[in-house]
Structure 1
Amino acid sequence: MSSPTNKSINVDTGLAHLADVVDQRRDAFKAGSADPKTSYTALLFSKGDDGILKKIGEEATEAVMAAKDARNSNLAAEQQKLLIGEMADLWFHCLIALSQFNLRPEDVIAELDRRLGTSGIEEKAARKAANPE
């Protein structure tokens, strides 16, 4: 499904731009100038932390199911499009959650960069050692 055109997209810049739009819409909702009846983003922010987090759970489940369907399907190209759509929904709702908690995708990218070159098993063990609960 990927093409050279898709690979040339600057993911950091694209996510930052979308996060800017989400933050603007969050601010408009908080200022009372975005109506949850006409703006999906305002509707999400109107549901508060629990509603936003519940939506991420729903979208994550849909992404998992789409991936399973793509894996087991003879219609691979169509299923890949569905998987991409579900992942886009999940990423969007994650951006909403980041904005709700005054965070940015750049914060997530920085954390991924910090972990780069570290074994995932070692990194997880270090986090567990730091927080032994």
Structure 2
Amino acid sequence: MQVIEDRKQRMPEHSYTTQLFQGGTGKIADKLLEETEELIEAANETEGDPRHSMIHEAADLIYHLFVMLAHRDVRLADVEAELARRFGISGLDEKAARSSQRQP
């Protein structure tokens, strides 16, 4: 994350990360969708061992996720805190609690 935050502050020329930041949320979101699809395709490979492809695509997805978080000023520590808050709570219970909070 530090390298991505540094790119955000300095915005160096000839940097892919800079291009993503300049493209804004839409461009970063498009890349997140693309990389998610590629990871799913790798997971569904039936020939050989998909592990190498999955590692490559997961790294791409995580990188673009980190760029989006940085772009929207969300710190990784904030995400970690949210995960810690959920620890020990059933995923179904947590989802139900979110649904009931949205209803008027």
TM-score by length of 1: 0.74
Out of 16, 19, 31, which is 1:55 matched to?
Answer: 31
TM-superposed deviation, 1:132: 2.6
Unmatched 5+ stretches in structure 1: 1-18
1:81 aligns with 2:52: yes
Name 1:121's counterpart in structure 2: 92
In structure 1, distance between residues paired with 2:63 and 2:81: 19
Whether 2:53 is the aligned partner of 1:66: answer no
Within a 5 Å distance, the mapping from 1:101-116 to structure 2 comes to 101-116=72-87
Q: CA deviation at 1:110?
A: 1.2
Q: What does residue range 16-35 of structure 1 map to in structure 2 within 5 Å? A: 19-29=1-11, 34-35=12-13
User: What is aligned with 1:97?
Assistant: 68
Map Cα deviations across residues 43-97 of structure 1 (whole Å, 9 max, x no partner).
Answer: 111101111111111111111111111xx23x12xx2011011000000000000
TM-score by length of 2: 0.94
Cα offset for 1:129?
Answer: 0.8
- Percent sequence identity over aligned pairs: 37
Task: Map 1:35-50 onto structure 2 (within 5 A).
Answer: 35=13, 38-50=14-26
CA distance in 2, matches of 1:112, 1:121: 15
Quote the Cα distance in structure 2 between the aligned partners of 1:55 and 1:131. Answer: 29
CA distance, structure 2, for counterparts of residue 114 and residue 83 of structure 1:
29
CA distance in 1, matches of 2:78, 2:33: 21
Structure 2 residue matching 1:42: 3-state secondary structure: helix
Instruction: State the alpha-carbon separation in 1 of the partners of residues 67 and 53 from structure 2.
Output: 21
In 2, the alpha carbon distance for the partners of 1:57 and 1:132 equals: 29
Consecutive unaligned residues of structure 2, counting only runs of 5 or more, are none
